[in-house]
């Protein structure tokens, strides 16, 4: 069974530029999560989807971050404009249903200079 | 107030000994609990899940859950150098079961 796919693996951008990350969850997984992990910290939940609906986005900085999950499968996370403090690893995870085990993709390491 | 608390470590354990990792959480209605292992530069990898009070064993790993005291722990028996990593405790919160992570405990197994 294929795991969670994410791209790109690495991205370097200048501050005030925009960037987008893509995630393809495990087939059949209804719940999709985007996390931000800053070096030395645990993953911080940015947004949670159940199929194509948003369940929780309370920690998403909505003035610059946006996310969508069209058709309840793939998802994209966008940052516009980026700030230096957005430098982090962005992790996508999926689970069969809410509350069940979540499996992570390899992540996208973003560096904002 | 942090929702999931872990000691950041580092926790140093001799090879072959038992490593004990602890985690407390604040939401009494939490229903799902997970332990992840994260090697440096890699993404978190699920190693255990537990949903009811008591112990759950899987190979060298045992997860323990006490909902009344709001803590969950992970025991690693016969610790190996390959167990050296950061261990993340995660809790499924609220009716939506959003999964919230602690900051992780760094474990170092010394030969």
Q: Mean per-residue pLDDT for B60-71?
A: 96
Q: How far apart, in whole angstroms, are the C-alpha atoms of residue B111 and residue B80? A: 8
Q: How far apart, in whole angstroms, are the C-alpha atoms of residue B63 and residue A102? A: 17
Q: Do B88 and A43 touch (CB under 8 A)?
A: yes
pLDDT higher than 60, residue B2: no
CA A19 to chain centre: 12
Q: CA of B2 to nearest chain A CA: how many angstroms apart?
A: 12
Q: How far is CA B50 from CA A20, A36, A55, B8, B66, in A?
A: 35, 24, 23, 22, 11
pLDDT interval class at A105 (50, 70, 90): very high
The H or E element that residue B5 is part of is strand B4-6
Task: Write down the pLDDT at residue B95.
Answer: 65
| Closest by CA position to A27, among listed A78, A73, A70 | A73
Q: What dihedral angle (degrees, nearest 10) is formed by the CA atoms of B27, B32, B33, B37?
A: -130
Give the angle subtended at the CA of B19 by the CAs of B51 and B6, to the nearest 5°: 60
DSSP A34-73: EEEE-TTS--EEEEEEETTEEEE-TTS-TTTEEEE-GGGS
pLDDT (tens digit, 9 = 90+) per residue, B28-52? Answer: 888 899 999 999 999 999 999 999 9
Q: Do A102 and B34 touch (CB under 8 A)?
A: yes
Is the CB of A106 inside 8 Å of chain B's CB atoms?
Answer: yes
Q: How far apart, in whole angstroms, are the C-alpha atoms of residue B91 and residue B26? A: 10
- The mean predicted confidence, pLDDT, of chain A is 96
Residue A58, classified by CB atoms within 10 Å of its CB into exposed (0-12), middle (13-18) or buried (19+), is exposed
Q: How far apart, in whole angstroms, are the C-alpha atoms of residue A33 and residue A45? A: 7
Q: Which two tokens stand for residue A10?
A: 């690495």
Q: How far apart, in whole angstroms, are the C-alpha atoms of residue B49 and residue B61? A: 11
Task: Using CB atoms, pick whichever of A43, A95, A99 lies closest to residue B31.
Answer: A99
pLDDT (tens digit, 9 = 90+) per residue, B66-103? Answer: 999 999 999 999 999 999 999 999 999 766 678 999 99
Interface test with A, best of B99, B100, B101, B102 (most A CBs within 10 A): B99
Q: Which two tokens stand for residue B13?
A: 């354990």
Q: Do B97 and A56 touch (CB under 8 A)?
A: no
pLDDT (tens digit, 9 = 90+) per residue, A41-90? Answer: 999 999 999 998 999 999 999 999 999 998 889 999 999 999 999 999 99
Q: Of residues A111 and B9, which shows the higher confidence score?
A: A111
Q: How many contacts (CB atoms, under 8 Å) link A and B?
A: 56
pLDDT (tens digit, 9 = 90+) per residue, A13-32? Answer: 999 999 999 999 999 999 99
Q: Do B101 and A43 touch (CB under 8 A)?
A: yes
The H or E element that residue B73 is part of is strand B71-76
Q: How far is CA A99 from CA A106, B5, B51, in A?
A: 21, 19, 10
């Amino acid at each position: 069974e294929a795991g969670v796919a994410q791209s790109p693996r690495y991205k370097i951008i200048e501050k005030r530029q925009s960037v987008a990350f893509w995630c393809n969850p495990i087939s059949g997984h209804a719940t999709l999560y985007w996390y931000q992990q800053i070096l030395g910290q645990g993953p911080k939940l940015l947004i949670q989807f159940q199929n194509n609906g948003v369940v929780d986005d309370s920690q998403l900085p909505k003035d610059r971050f946006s996310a969508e999950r069209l058709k309840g499968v793939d998802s994209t996370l966008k940052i516009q404009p980026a700030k230096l403090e957005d430098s982090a690893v962005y992790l996508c995870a999926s689970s069969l249903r809410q509350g069940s085990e979540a499996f992570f993709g390899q992540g996208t390491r973003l560096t904002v200079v | 107030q942090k929702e999931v608390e872990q000691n950041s470590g580092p926790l140093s354990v001799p090879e072959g000994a038992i490593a004990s990792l602890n985690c407390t959480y604040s939401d009494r209605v939490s229903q799902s609990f997970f332990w992840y292992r994260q090697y440096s530069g890699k993404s978190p990898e699920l190693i255990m899940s537990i949903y009811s009070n008591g112990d759950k064993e899987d190979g060298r790993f045992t997860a323990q859950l006490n909902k009344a005291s709001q803590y969950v722990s992970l025991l690693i028996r016969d610790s190996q150098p390959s167990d050296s990593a950061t261990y993340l405790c995660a809790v499924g919160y609220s009716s939506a079961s959003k999964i919230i992570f602690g900051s992780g405990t760094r474990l170092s197994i010394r030969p």
